[in-house]
Structure 1
Amino acid sequence: MPLSELTAATPTARQRDRAVDVARIGALLVVMFGHCALLLATIDSGGVRISNLLGALPALAPVTWVVQVMPLFFLAGGAAGAYGWHAGSPWGSWLFTRAQRLCRPVFWYLAFWTVALLVTRLVLGAESADALGRESVALLWFLGVYLVVLAFVPALTHMRTWRSVAVVLVALLSATAVIDAIRFAVGTPEAGLANFLVVWLIPVVIGVAYARRLIGPRIALGLAVAVFAAQLVLAATGPYEVALVVTGAEHTSNVTPPTLMLALHCTWMSFLFVAAAGLLNRWAARPRVWRAVAAGNGGAMTLYLWHIPAIAIATFSLHAVGLDAYNVHAAGFGWLLALRELVFGVVMAVLFRLLSPLEHRRLPGWDAPVRAAGARSTAAGALICLAGVAVVALAKSGLAGVAGWTMLGCFVAAAVAARVCAAPPKA
């Protein structure tokens, strides 16, 4: 679908919440250009060398409290899901219809990397293919967690008052703290895996409450300030690190798995969005702004999936002409980093133009109508959740070794099985 048609086909503000769309595309731009800034890479006689800007300059860690914007993706998903849910709809069929659009570009992405890694294995050997495979799907953790938390949206729409929202949020924050205590007592990150669900449910809850107008902007602003202050106290007194993204140098990550530090961050950032939503809606009402926001949201998964390959293209193209942004102490490092951001923006724009139509190209079988009810609908929803868990495991192991390829097979199998269950029953 041409970009002009895609924009024209996007619903107007009377049919959807523009602030949610602004939050989604704004957060995506921060993630894309943030990842480009964090990457330090070069090639020397020892091969490819990759490090992290925050690992090289730990003093920048507090900046992550601003650029860690993943809560806004989950909030947008919760709000959009609440807008799209209708009481009495079959839960599993509703969830599968949302997975159809989300997974369509992922299938293309995984097909590309399957072929690319097979070629790499033949040309450069198994070690190079495995190294590339571990990086190629790392960001898919978001899709996996998103599919699972989305399954809770219909239940969350039963919240009717601000008090019920507060009870759910306190329960989630308390559960996060308990899971953290177990994790620290056991001494392994695996003991905190449940927080992948518990923590990322927090912005979904606030997104649903926002869509149902259960939180006013003034209350939201006050809560955002209070929770932010609590996070400052926790950072100063608790056993947590400051950085809210992976740095490569942390002892205890706040994101893999998430911790109470990230849970508080999710809470205040989500409340801050609710407080600012009115301003965002008025700003997005400008025709030029809305056109850009609509176009970006129409290819959001393309931007998310392909921005890491775009960063790699920009980085190693500049390396080829001797313009590496690798040594943070070298003269002109800031200018080299800015140049890479610029080149990345151009590369990403080209990839977006070429690949975003795949998000709207219906796949035979996968995009057939969904009319399952009863047990078939429930099975379809459960299988989508299982597919999400498989994607999280795939992101962890990468497309490498038996575990990685097995998780890919599990994801595809669960998705196909969900499609079969969601099909209309035979007459």
Structure 2
Amino acid sequence: MGVPQQPQPQQQASAGQVLPAPDRDVVIDLARFFCLALVVVGHTMMVSPVLHPDGTVTTENTLAVQDWFEPVIWIFMVMPLFFVAGGITGLQSWRRLKASGGTGLEFAQARLLRLIRPAAALLAVMFAGLWAARLFGVEPQVVELIVTGAGMPLWFLAAYLAAQLNIPLLAALHGRAPWLSLAGLTALVVAVDCLRGALPLLAYANILFLWCAVQQLGFILADATAGKPRASTLIAVIVASNVLLGLVTGLGLYRGNMLVNLNPPNFCLLLLGAAQAAALQLSRPVLTGAASARWVRAVVGLAGRRAMTVYLWHLPLLAAMSGLLLLTDFPKPSAGTAEWWWSRPLVLLGIIALLLPVLAVFGRLEERTTAAARSRRRPAAAVVTAVVVVFIPVADAAVNGLTLALLGGGAACFTLAVRLLGRIPARVGAAPDGAPGAPGGPLPQAPLSANVEP
């Protein structure tokens, strides 16, 4: 799929050369920026801490209880689009690494470092700050409220990591039978959904199966030739996905609220992902023009370099700000009232103000160089151990909820994983002349040869 372009020479490398980095795909950058902005804005309309007369504190999800919100979230549930974009860029990154002689372990090492380094800083700072708050007499319920806010972004980190770490395996399956591999993952998603009533914990298996299936949609986009499929086909995919989504929710097989369908994820998110992938490709010509504007590229590029920091920190900061306001006499309108809605722009401005110093201090972790010419490849045991120690606290938090003690344990595990992974060895060799990027074909050409990470 894509905008018709002039043929470009095949990317090749002679022995001893490093493959040049491809141009960025401004459309994928813009899509990620839109998704991130929508998530931040949406969370400001969800978190509503309530201080009851007896001194207890609870939190309400205001949007989740609004009847008008259920059809709206069909459009603005953008998590599937994150994974579609991750599938495009992840497949390209793996193919480039493999073409230069890299291995699946090196790919896992790079992905883990890129994602858990900012997360380790967040967990460590939050554990130290909240433990200090407890020592200074802050109400335990307020502390737990903030801890809960910290835990919400971690599910995405766990799901995204699980999908990305499987890219080498899934790329091999995609190279042999792309539609069959997507159908197999879809079948696993539906099977888990059918059994989740009898085995509730089994539903969490779809954190892997569902998001890997959505990621495969990105693989298909990345490998589609210019101008295919046609606009009529893309429109048909959008219509069919939404009609089927309406059918399964209308019959009561799934809930109509996509926030409920998100945790744990189910088949509805795959249908949304298919519609969003098709819509992204259909709108590519328009988005390319909009994203090519100099000021748009500047804003999107700046946000993109700090995207993981913004995502990880914005909700804990929102929870902290909300919790601290409970301890003051600052006006606190009831959730869902007109005054509450009018206060949302102020809350958003407050979060942006809090994010600026955080980005200045911790945003550099995303830009920290991960390649060193003399770094040694890490042993397989070190990479595998890092994966295990990362997923232990995340899995515990997903099943049992995040506590202050688990927050500290997670910080220790993430820090240990960073130490185990070390630095990414630079690829000084390259693929021989004419070598394809992967079994599925040559390295992708523009506009989908973009945003290769790390």
| TM-score scaled by length of structure 2 | 0.76
Confirm whether residue 292 of structure 1 aligns to residue 312 of structure 2: no
Indicate whether 1:417 and 2:420 are aligned: yes
Decide which of 218, 223, 243 is 1:212's aligned counterpart: 223
Give me the whole-angstrom Cα distance separating, in 1, the residues matched to 2:389 and 2:270. Answer: 25
CA distance in 2, matches of 1:317, 1:353: 23
1-structure distance, mates of 2:355, 2:407? 27
> 1:155 matched to which residue of 2?
169
1:291-333 alpha-carbon deviations (Å, 9 max, x no partner): 01100001001110111133246546777564434332x4434
Structure 1 equivalent of residue 23 of structure 2: 15
Q: Shift in Å at residue 352 of structure 1?
A: 3.3
Deviations for 1:82-133, whole angstroms, at most 9, x for unmatched residues? 2222234211112212322222211211220121132123223794445543
Q: How many residues align?
A: 396
TM-score (norm: length of structure 1): 0.81
* Separation of aligned partners in 2, 1:349 and 1:313: 15
Contact residue 138 and residue 395 of structure 1 kept, 8 A: no
Larger RCO, structures 1/2 (Cα 8 Å, 6+ apart): 2
Separation (CA, whole Å) in 1 of partners of 2:351 and 2:197: 39
CA spacing shift, 1:19–1:371, aligned 2, 3 Å: farther
Gaps of 5+ in 2: 1-20, 427-454
Q: State the SS of the aligned residue for 1:58.
A: coil
Indicate conservation of the 8 Å contact 1:148/1:389, yes or no.
no
Shift of 1:65: 1.2
Aligned identity (percent) is 26
**Residue correspondence of structure 1 range 320-339 to structure 2 within 5 A:** 320=328, 322-328=330-336, 330-339=337-346
Alignment of 1:232-247 (within 5 A): 232-245=246-259
- Which range is displaced more, 108-117 or 262-271? 262-271
- CA gap 1:341/1:114 in 2 versus in 1, 3 angstroms: closer
Q: 1:372 aligns with which of 361, 374, 377?
A: 377
Q: Is the 8 A contact 2:119 2:414 kept in 1?
A: no
> Deviation string for 1:346-372 (max 9, x for gaps)?
443454345423432459xx9896552
Q: C-alpha distance in 1, partners of 2:415/2:59?
A: 31
- Structure richer in helix, relative to its length: 1
- Aligned residues of 1:65 and 1:244 also touching (Cα < 8 A): yes
What is the rounded CA distance, in whole Å, between the counterparts of 1:391 and 1:20 in structure 2?
31
AA at the equivalent of 2:35: A
Counterparts of 1:21-100 in structure 2, within 5 Å, are: 21-43=29-51, 45=53, 46-85=55-94, 86=96, 87=98, 88-100=101-113
**More deviation, 210-219/69-78:** 210-219
Select the residue among 88, 101, 120 that pairs with 1:107: 120
Matching residue of 1:4: none
Name the CA shift for 1:296/1:125 in 2 (closer, same or farther; >3 Å).
closer
Task: Return the alpha-carbon distance in structure 2 between the equivalents of residues 294 and 170 of structure 1.
Answer: 35
1:124 alignment partner, SS class: coil
Root-mean-square deviation (Å): 3.3
Which range is displaced more, 16-25 or 145-154? 145-154
**Cα distance in 1 for residues equivalent to 2:402 and 2:65:** 28
1:168 counterpart = 2:185: no
Query: In the alignment, which residue of structure 2 is the partner of 1:250?
Result: none
CA distance change for structure 1 residues 356 and 107 in 2, over 3 Å: closer, same or farther?
same
Kindly indicate whether residue 212 of structure 2 is the aligned counterpart of residue 201 of structure 1: yes
Matches of 2:375 and 2:71 in 1, distance apart? 46
Query: Does 1:303 find its partner at 2:316?
Result: no
Distance 1:180 1:50, change over 3 A: same
